[in-house]
Amino acid sequence: MLVGIDLGTTNSAVALWKDGAPQLVPNALGKDLTPSAVSLAKGGQAWVGQAALDRMATHPADTVTSFKRMIGTAGTVTLAGTTLTPEDLSAMVLRSLADDVEAATGERPSGAVITVPAYFNERQRRATRRAGEIAGLEVKRLINEPTAAALAFGLADRGDREPFLVFDLGGGTFDVSIVEMFEGIVEVRASAGDNRLGGDDFDEALVRLVEPLLTDPDALARLPADRRHALLTLAAERTRRALTTADEADFTLVADGTSLTARVTTEAFEEAAAPLVKRLRDPVIRALRDCHIDVKTLSDIVLVGGATRMPVVRKALTRMFGRFPNTTVHPDHAVALGAAIQAGLLSGGDGLEEIRITDVAPFTLGVGTATRDQHGRYHDDIFAPIIERNTPVPVSRMEGFRTLSDNQRQVVFAIYQGEARDVKKNVKLGELTVPVPPRPAGEVGVDVRFTYDTSGLLEVDVAVPSTGMTRNLVIVDEDDRRSQKDVEARRKALEKLKVHPRDEAENVAMLARAERAYEGFTGQVRDVIGQGLTEFQGALDKQDPRIIADAREGLGRLLDAIEANPPL
């Protein structure tokens, strides 16, 4: 049996394709949603879901939530003396969902389609696959959450739809996708997002707002830090939900027998959440820009994710798009239902023969290179894109490179995923070395081909036409985080020993602005911005104030012209 699973930051759900429709499978408590929470006791007892969440207030040190935000990292969590990885914790939730399916159907699922945020990078996607494997499930496909939601939205009437925007704000992540449907094809045109923005962040904003206003703050201060944070977070979530249907609500909690309360108004909460609401805008602009669609031509704004229930979010969207968003899909169920539709497609479910899905590469894929400025200085670790983000997959692209120095005997290609011009800010996926004949600089060419498929598999082929030498690499897990961390720590220590013009406020601001612009565009515009950055960095290396000022002014004019016509 193949099931669809929405593995969420706050809640998870499982569904299957049955009798020609996707159907949610309730858990042991009869609920469609299972909290993504795990709690352990020293005797080895484990709780998953609501039972674990109920222990948060009393056993905060032995309970964890929101571990999805850690997946794909080297982070671990120790509960009751047991150290667990984010994959372990996710696997416990997945196994609990599989138990629910077995209890409801009498058959244990053997495979699953698992949803991930559209903006998850390769490490996070591989870690999610590992979690499924740890749970005893064969992960047949990872599907982007907004794509799954678009499937659930589009299957309602199966009619053709002009491009529409899926706005997915969950407990810990934010995604936006532009989707079009025609003749049974669900085509994702572009995706963008923020993996560190969700309902949890709005809860934290509420805690910061209310904590100084509580009736007896000293009672709270006497509690251990982990228990204090757990009580405040749980109270904030309750209050936030209450504010979705009321103009004001009481923020209440009990600390060691003392009842603490504070009145919160919608207006005060909206003011506290304003910086978070502002962050919702940039991914929308990026997605619209990447697929060259005017906001006025969007046929619908579809809301997905429990956090979209907040009036502060819906008001912001109404102002942003000049219309009311579409709320016909269930914000908590749409992603799991869409995953079940994808599972039905893979298993040949009845009624799905004419539906096809196309998706896009969520991040740019490329290699690290070096470039030379007009002063003759080389700048290393410059990202050279090969497959741009939001390119339809499967896809194959090739770029040519040349040797950098005389009598160079090998070329090392480090492979990265990300949007930053400085490769150290991107995710390193692997490395490939190819020998070249010793010749004068620039005389030997090397062709690099990237092939990326719908399952997220990246294959790299490197060829030296002059010798016929080839190398191939299929990207697999690579853990180089420790060495990278050591290098960064040493570099930061050395940087403290000198004051360089790049550290002056005006130059830092201009570099940051240019880096943001570079990440925000693709294609020829990105190349122009990259060249402008190279020239400005070259001016900084000259350490001549007049040259730096002129270069800064020129880069500013370039960015002004590029940013003058945003799509929204």
Pair 333, 496: CB distance under 8 Å? no
**Quick check: is 248 catalytic?**
no
**CA dist., res. 206 & res. 212, Å (int):** 11
Q: Are β-strands 161-169 and 174-182 bridged in parallel, bridged antiparallel, or unpaired?
A: antiparallel
**CA dist., res. 162 & res. 480, Å (int):** 44
DSSP secondary structure string for all residues of 83-103: EE-HHHHHHHHHHHHHHHHHH
DSSP secondary structure string for all residues of 30-97: S-S-EE-EEEE-TTS-EEETHHHHHTTTT-GGGEEE-GGGGTTSS--EEETTEEE-HHHHHHHHHHHH
Residue 123: name the closest of 89, 87, 162 by CA.
Answer: 87
Give the three-class secondary structure for 3. Answer: strand
- Annotated catalytic residue, options 62, 145, 237, 373: 145
Report residue 392 CA to chain centroid gap.
18
**CA dist., res. 55 & res. 64, Å (int):** 10
Rg of the chain over Cα atoms, rounded to whole angstroms, equals 25
End-to-end CA distance of the chain: 44
Give the three-class secondary structure for 375. Answer: coil
Q: 60 vs 53, 115, 171, CA distance in Å?
A: 10, 28, 19
Task: Give me the phi and psi of 249, to 5 degrees please.
Answer: -155, 160
- Annotated catalytic residue, options 6, 62, 175, 290: 6
- Annotated catalytic residue, options 168, 180, 201, 373: 168
- Which residues in 150-306 belong to E strands, given as ranges? 161-169, 174-182, 185-194, 248-255, 258-265, 301-304
Which residue's structure tokens are 């080389």?
A: 378
**CA dist., res. 411 & res. 404, Å (int):** 9
Question: In 513-541, which positions are buried (b, 16+ CB within 10 angstroms) versus exposed (e)?
Answer: ebbebbbbbbeeebebbbebbbbbbbbbb
CB within 8 Å of 196: residues ≥ 6 apart: 69, 172, 173
Task: Give me the phi and psi of 208, to 5 degrees please.
Answer: -65, -35
* DSSP designation for 326: B
Residue 511: name the closest of 503, 520, 499, 523 by CA.
Answer: 503
**Quick check: is 168 catalytic?**
yes
CB within 8 Å of 457: residues ≥ 6 apart: 474, 475
Give the three-class secondary structure for 307. Answer: helix
Pair 10, 349: CB distance under 8 Å? no
**Quick check: is 425 catalytic?**
no
Residue 228 is which amino acid? R
**Residues tagged active-site:** 6, 68, 145, 168
